[in-house]
Amino acid sequence: MSSSSHLIIKNGTVITSSHQKKTDILIVDDKIAKIGNFTSDDDDAGIIDASGLLIFPGGVDAHTHMELPVMGIHSSDTFATGTKAALYGGTTTIIDFANQSRMESLNQTLDKWFLKAEGHVYTDYALHLSVTVVNHQTIAELEGIIKHRGVSSFKTFMAYKTMMITDDEIATLMRETSKYGGLVTVHAEDGELIESIIENNISQKNIAPQFHPINRPIVAESNAISRLVNISERENLPIYVVHLSSAEGLNCALNKSNAKIILETCPQYLLLDDSKYLHTDPLEVNKFVMSPPIRPLQNHQHLWKGIADGHIKVVATDHCPFTLEQKKLGLNDFTKVPNGIPGVEHRLEILFSEGYLKGQITLNQLVQVWSTNPARIFGLHPRKGDIVVGADADLVLFDPNIKHTISSKTHHMNVDYSAYEGLDVVGKCQGVMLRGKVAIDCDGVLKINEGYGHYIHRGACVV
């Protein structure tokens, strides 16, 4: 008898980024050991019958903000509560953002984030580093951070006074990180334009939260993306745009074939529209205050098509929840609303129900944006993001027929409202495995302890 543990998942329909096949999966310890139809001669092997279920690779959410410090408060999900909720939705790896404050070095920022996460995370996790100061010290730290600390992607901001850097600094960072396989990502909104609109609105006492989408118009996004197209073309290097929100932004990104703009969008930009900002109750408005704002309805079809056409590579959540009590801080003043919405738990069921079942994307495309592309782009593949021999056995058993309704009454995120309250969806996770261990069983019972999640030292980004 061997000391390794054997588990067979039988009769499920395995969906990858390119294939769909009814087959069995043998898991030995934490890895996928064999894929195919076979009978086991190992009497000790556990067997999970996945008849009628789809099996997806565990999700990779490339954009989360757990315990993010903002204006003296923190986003309401800790690494523990947020990653537990992520697991319930089939996400087995998150990439969270460690944000540099201008007083600290990049290594100090990373130390702070590890302190928050280590020992508390349920999913596996990796970190992006947000760079707000580009100087000699920053540049000197990059090689060690990529090679020795496993952080190969760097976020930059074109908006927000306290975080934004110049286009030249973004270009410098692209050149320097690319030497070691790093990738620069960017919050693409024209900060100067936004600041001038905000100043003007404040001077006219137009400070109700309803002004949020007016402060951050679509043209701010498309301007910023046009600048990035020029930078990418000039430097002959790729750049990754987080949370694309509009059709105009998408068109700008595709404008020049010599530029390489990698696009991410989020469920909120595929499903929610700016009518939410017309509500007369400012607290209702504040539930949906995020940057960039949600856009007019007609943008949705273009973003779905962008996924189907392969132009949008990643759907991440930008999960950044605040409770209603926290959202009340900006009841009468848009400058005081903490920006962000919850969503880490619902990415798969939204992609499946609103995307696949409504004919917007295929199942293979779903897997691409849900798991395989973010894993590949951010240096986690083939360990994560795929169902292949040798990969971590991170798997989602998904029942495509279960109907349910998204609600704050039943979700697992630590926040007292849902951005998708009342949305009826079809399809639900009926079991989640992380590194060969049942993390959520078919009855929805959590089977792993806080801290089971590992830090994943990432390799070079691949674009």
Closest residue to Zn ion, based on beta-carbon distance:
318
Q: Is the dihedral of CA 15, 19, 24, 26 positive or negative?
A: negative
- Closer by beta carbon to Zn ion, 248 or else 318: 318
User: Please, which of residues 414-453 interact with Zn ion by CB under 5 A?
Assistant: none
**Selected range binding Zn ion among 129-137, 160-168, 310-318, 426-434, rule: CB under 5 A:** 310-318
Supply 243's token pair: 């949370």
Segment contacting Zn ion (CB under 5 A): 41-49, 139-147, 315-323, 445-453?
315-323
Query: What is the rounded CA–CA span in Å between residue 326 and residue 301?
Result: 33
CB of 243 to Zn ion, least distance (A): 6
Residue 330 CA: distances (Å) to CA of 15, 287, 415: 44, 11, 17
Taking the least distance from each CB to Zn ion, the nearer of 138 and 245 is 245
Contact by Cβ (8 Å): 228, 262? no
Q: Which stretch binds Zn ion (CB under 5 A): 116-124, 152-160, 275-283, 316-324?
A: 316-324
Is residue 123 within 8 A of residue 453, CB to CB? The reply is: yes
* In the complex, minimum distance from the CB of residue 97 to Zn ion, in angstroms, rounded to a whole number: 6
Closest to Zn ion by CB, 62 vs 429, is: 62
What is the rounded CA–CA span in Å between residue 402 and residue 202?
Answer: 48
The answer to whether 96 contacts Zn ion (rule: CB under 5 A) is no
Q: Which two tokens stand for residue 257?
A: 């074939």
Local structure of 448: helix, strand or coil: coil
Residue 318 binds Zn ion, judged by CB under 5 A: yes
Binding residues with Zn ion: total (CB under 5 A): 1
Which x/- pattern, by CB under 5 A, does the window 268-307 give for Zn ion?
A: ----------------------------------------
Cis peptide bond prior to 338, omega within 30° of 0: no
Minimum distance between the CB of residue 318 and Zn ion, rounded to whole angstroms? 4
CA-atom Rg of the chain in angstroms: 21
**Are residues 220 and 194 in contact, defined by beta-carbon separation less than 8 angstroms?**
yes
Position 166, amino acid: T
What minimum distance in Å lies between the beta carbon of 320 and Zn ion? 6
Of the two residues 141 and 318, which places its CB atom closer to Zn ion in the complex?
A: 318
Window contacting Zn ion (CB under 5 A); options: 43-51, 148-156, 280-288, 311-319:
311-319
Alpha carbon distances (Å) from 94 to 79, 176, 232, 389, 454: 10, 25, 27, 22, 11
Nearer to Zn ion, 94 or 391 (CB): 94
Interface with Zn ion includes 264 (CB under 5 A)?
A: no
CA 68/CA 74 separation, integer angstroms: 5
Nearer to Zn ion, 264 or 318 (CB): 318
Nearer to Zn ion, 67 or 235 (CB): 67
- The residue among 221 and 318 lying less far from Zn ion, judged by its C-beta, is 318
Number of other CB atoms surrounding residue 275 within 10 Å: 11
Interface contacts to Zn ion, rule CB under 5 A: 318
